[in-house]
Chains A and B, each alone.
Chain A
Amino acid sequence: MKSIIKKMAALFTACTMAVAAAGCSNGPATTTAGSGGSSGSPVGVGFIFVGTKDDYGYNQAAYKASLDVEQRFGDKINVFRSENIPETSEATRVLEQMIQQGATVLFPTSYGHLDPALDAAEENPNCVFFHQGGLKTSENLGTYFGTIWESFYLAGIAAGSTTKSSKLGFITSFAIPQIMLNINAFTLGAKSVNPEITTTVIFTGDWSDPALQTDAVNSLADGGCDVIATHQDSTKTIVELCESKGIYVCGCHADAGELAPTHWLTAPVWNWSDLFVDMTQTALDGKFKGSVYDGKYRGGLKEGVIDIAPYGSAVSAELREKIDTAKKQMIDGTLFAFEGEIKDRDGNVRIAAGTRPSVDELETCDWFVEGVIGSAN
């Protein structure tokens, strides 16, 4: 009901604006991409999220950064936020609505928001879109993402050093390239400290179904896994259950250490704040075209876009040092998670000795490294 009222209001505003524009302006509009920042009136910045803001996961990480953007720019910007936006044309409508209310910088933050956002971008050439994780771009839509597999490699070191049974579990949703890449990185990290380990993967077919997550933890525990890692949108159920079952746990997307005081190891986390602020600034300055964000921007540990969450008490001082050293080496470039030679499960060489594949090559990963148990198709 509320949204219907909102839509009606937006429609009304749009009509009045159209009439006003027809009445006063003669000649084409002169606004260019994101150039509204220089004048006194605040510029609208819109964020849409596929889930809720406090899910100890993906959405929480992006939401937090949106708060930091608001804080940094103060009254220079007007922030619009919408949670639980499905990855359908509904997303296009919400973006359009924000634009009608004055937003010129838009952040569609879920992978599936890409196509709806591309539609909205085409209709609104004077707005700038930053899409999270997308592989397609357009004139006024750039995508950004973090090479989160670097953090998964570090979490793998923590898991591989902690396990007693050498059996690690991994709970996730679907066998898609980005996730398979993270599972591989996690396994390679663990194998770097303990060549014996295996990673058993359970795909639940859902990003946040707590009952399936519970089934998966129970099932992995019965199978003998004593460290569980996860790639889900919401991780609270898994982290709490692991704590109560005495299983060590690596979270995902956000720090959930407070939920598992004795069995928390660490988690790959996003550090979007500085990036969001910089992207917003670039758009407000009208410098989107030709900037690093005009295309597919990928940042890693070095750029500070990703990191790992604070260690839990279960991580010894010695292990902390080991992980910190690996992190430093990844930042200065002496360590690369996917440096060849790397073979897949069937023994085929996927990455030749001494080579480092590009991010584009990695992002199309459809195979598992040796030691991963689970179906790759």
Chain B
Amino acid sequence: MILESLLAGAVQSGTSVLLTVCGETVSERAGVINLGTEGCMAVGALFAYIVCAETGQPFLAIPVACIAGGLMGLLHAYFVISRKANQLATGLTLMFLGLGLTAFLGRNYVSVSTEGFTKLRIPFLADIPIIGDALFDQDPITYLSYLICAGMCLLLYKTRFGLILRATGEDENVVYAYGADPIRMRYLSVIMGGMLSALGGAQLSIAYTHTWIEGMTGSRGVIGVALVCIAAWNPAKAFIGAYIFGAAQALQMILQQQGLEISSFLLMMIPYVLVLIALFAASIKKNGKMPAELKKVFEAV
């Protein structure tokens, strides 16, 4: 019972982070780091909620949230690619812009209720012991996140587009020489990253909590950026970090219920401590897959 609720918790609270990790991976693979994922998430969460509340159509909310997140990505791309602004500074600014803007625009939606997505149990698959409930008794955006993760792997590793995208992150001159346009690749991947983060935000607001409130992303977008390293810039591994984070969140609540005399303040730190441990483990394995163009960002600081 406890194991099952732990796994269910891992997927439920991990999905929004998973989508963000996926999006940020694509962006970083092309050589652009976007610290503004938190802002993209907030924008996605709000716009999905507004569409849901106004039209009652959660499926319409998904494209709108993605467009809003894509515009945030476009803003980041314009500044860091076309204007050559510092990526870290622009990303942080984008984060606060997203949080502030959504707090302002969402004021009237805090007390509005909307149905949104509910859980959709998949027959047979959900009956698999232990993992069935956790993976296949979830909301539609969670199922979409499985497909997106798989799709991103195919896109990055099995298509010419993906090859050029990865090459852009390694050495833009090679891409130039090959005859492709690295600027275009970067724009596309940053916009895609913003869209996926926004979808993660939408999962939080219309599928998981059915609530809009300012600051509801609660630094999940920022954690997502850290988890990209644990995934070694590979979308196939994105779920590792994201579900570790989700599971830790569920674990601290289960531990609190056991009546252990451990300070609740310490238990609340579990998700972050686990992420640090995972980062440490990833650094030992030396799977140094950091895209070469990305290193320039830090060398330039």
CB contacts under 8 Å to B, within A230-263, are 234, 236-237, 240-241, 259
Q: Could you tell me the distance in whole angstroms from the C-beta of B213 to the nearest C-beta in chain A?
A: 6
In the complex, what's the smallest C-beta–C-beta distance from A57 to chain B, in angstroms?
10
Q: How far is the CA of A213 from the CA of B210 in the complex (A)?
A: 11
B204 with A236: CB separation less than 8 A: no
Q: What are 16 A-B pairs at a CB distance below 8 A?
A: A52-B214, A83-B107, A175-B263, A175-B264, A203-B256, A211-B208, A212-B218, A214-B12, A214-B208, A214-B209, A216-B253, A218-B9, A219-B257, A222-B1, A237-B209, A240-B113
User: Does A56 belong to the interface (CB within 8 Å)?
Assistant: yes
- Which B270-296 residues sit within 8 Å CB-CB of chain A? none
Cβ-based interface call for A79 (8 A): no
Residue-wise, chain A 253-291 has the 8 Å CB interface mask toward B (1 for contact) of 000000100000000000000000000000000000000
Q: Residue among B8, B13, B111, B214 with the most chain A CB within 10 A? A: B111
Residue A55 CB within 8 A of the other chain: yes
Residue of A nearest to B4 (CB): A222
Q: Which residues of chain A have C-beta atoms less than 8 A from B13's C-beta?
A: 211, 214-215
Which residues of chain B have C-beta atoms less than 8 A from A200's C-beta? 256-257
Q: Which of B213, B254, B261, B267 contacts A234 (CB 8 A)?
A: B213
Cα distance, A224 to B200, chains bound together (Å): 30
Known contacts A215-B249, A375-B256; 14 further A-B pairs (Cβ under 8 A):
A52-B110, A52-B213, A55-B111, A84-B214, A175-B265, A203-B268, A204-B268, A208-B213, A208-B216, A214-B209, A218-B8, A218-B12, A374-B259, A375-B263
Residues in B neighbouring A52, C-beta threshold 8 A = 107, 110, 213-214
B253 contacts A215, C-beta separation under 8 Å? yes
| A: number of interface residues (CB 8 Å) | 40
Q: Please tell me the size bucket of the interface on B.
A: 35 or more
Q: Which residues of B contact A240 (CB under 8 A)?
A: 113, 210-211
Contact between chains at A373 and B213 (CB < 8 Å): no
Question: Which chain A residues in 51-81 approach chain B with CB under 8 Å?
Answer: 52, 54-56
User: Which residues of A are at the interface with B, using a C-beta cutoff of 8 A?
Assistant: 52, 54-56, 83-84, 174-175, 200-206, 208-216, 218-220, 222-223, 234, 236-237, 240-241, 259, 373-377
Q: Could you tell me if A202 and B12 are in contact, using CB atoms closer than 8 angstroms?
A: no
A56's closest neighbor in chain B, by CB?
A: B111
Task: Please tell me if the beta carbons of B249 and A201 are within 8 angstroms of each other in the complex.
Answer: no
A-B pairs with lowest CB-CB distance, top 6: A210-B209, A203-B264, A54-B111, A205-B268, A210-B211, A219-B253
Select B249's contact among A84, A212, A373, beta carbons within 8 Å.
Answer: A212
Q: Which residue of B lies closest to A221 (CB)?
A: B5
* B16 interface residue (CB < 8 Å to A): yes
- B187-228 contacts to A, CB under 8 A, are 204, 208-211, 213-216, 218, 220
For residue B251, which residue of chain A has the nearest CB?
A219
Report the minimum CB–CB distance from B202 to chain A (whole Å).
13
Contact of B257 among A209, A220, A377 (CB under 8 A): A220
User: B250 near A: Cβ within 8 Å?
Assistant: yes
A56-B111, A222-B1 known; A377 and B261 CB under 8 Å? yes
On chain A, the residues within 8 Å of B110 by CB distance are: 52, 54-55, 234, 236
Contact of B113 among A218, A223, A259, A375 (CB under 8 A): A259
Task: State how many angstroms separate the Cβ of A268 from the closest Cβ of chain B.
Answer: 19
- Taking the complex as formed, is B177 at the interface, i.e. its CB lies under 8 A from any CB of chain A? no
User: What residues on A are CB-neighbors of B214 within 8 Å?
Assistant: 52, 84
Q: Mark B1-33, 1 if CB is under 8 A from A, else 0.
A: 110010011001100100000000000000000
A211 touches B209 (CB 8 A): yes
